[in-house]
Amino acid sequence: MIRIGIIGDIGSGKTFVANNFGYPVFSADLEVAKIYKKNKKVFFKLKNKLPKYITRFPVDKNEITNAILDNQNNLNKITKIVHKEIRKKLNVFLKKNKNKKIVILDIPLLIENKLFYKKDLLVFVDSKKKNIDKRIKKRPNFNLKLFKIFKKIQLSRSYKKKISHFIIKNTFTKKPVKNKIIKIINKIL
């Protein structure tokens, strides 16, 4: 099984690219949303660590945001709890797809959180800053202060580009992205 990690800036279109590969995708964002919605054990752990902020189940993303904005140390507390579950979900996904030729890892902060193996192939999604800014500001839950916090914990764009095996210029149009993906798949298979 070839594991392909999709990396890039927040808002660069990593999920768009991941979903165009045509292979099973592990989406950490989707899994986190499910955890907040369905996992009572995680809720109680979060409530225990952050009783001032986490008050109801399913976990409200606004409460998570407020906890992080109020004190950046809360991000570490949340990450410790949630990432343990994400790692479990990733292992289940990998077992379920062990006979697939390729799997796609759409995990924000894949490198920063050490969720990749040295033999994984990395694809950097390169987008123009103006496109990223426009897309991010359109998000329903956009918060500039929160965005800056997450931006600070990301490794630099130039470093990610340098360690990547492939770069996809994302114009947010399907055909050019799909063509680049086909070239990548032909090279690795």
Grade residue 151 by pLDDT with cuts at 50, 70 and 90. Answer: confident
Q: At what angle do helices 28-38 and 40-49 cross, to 10 degrees?
A: 80
| Residues 185, 189: Cα–Cα separation, whole Å | 6
Check: pTM over 0.75? Answer yes or no. Answer: yes
Plot region of 12 (φ>0 → left; ψ -120 to 50 → alpha; else → beta): alpha
Residue 141 confidence (pLDDT) above 90: no
Q: Report phi then psi at 22, rounded to 5.
A: 80, 15
Residue 135: predicted pLDDT: 83
Residue 144: predicted pLDDT: 81
Count of Cβ atoms closer than 10 Å to residue 35 Cβ: 21
> Domains in the chain, start-ordered, CATH in brackets?
1-24+103-189 (3.40.50.300), 30-96 (no CATH)
Residue 13 confidence (pLDDT) above 90: yes
Give, in order, the Cα–Cα distances in Å from 89 to each of 19, 29, 175.
18, 12, 31
Average pLDDT value for residue range 48-66: 95
The pLDDT > 70 percentage for the chain reads 100
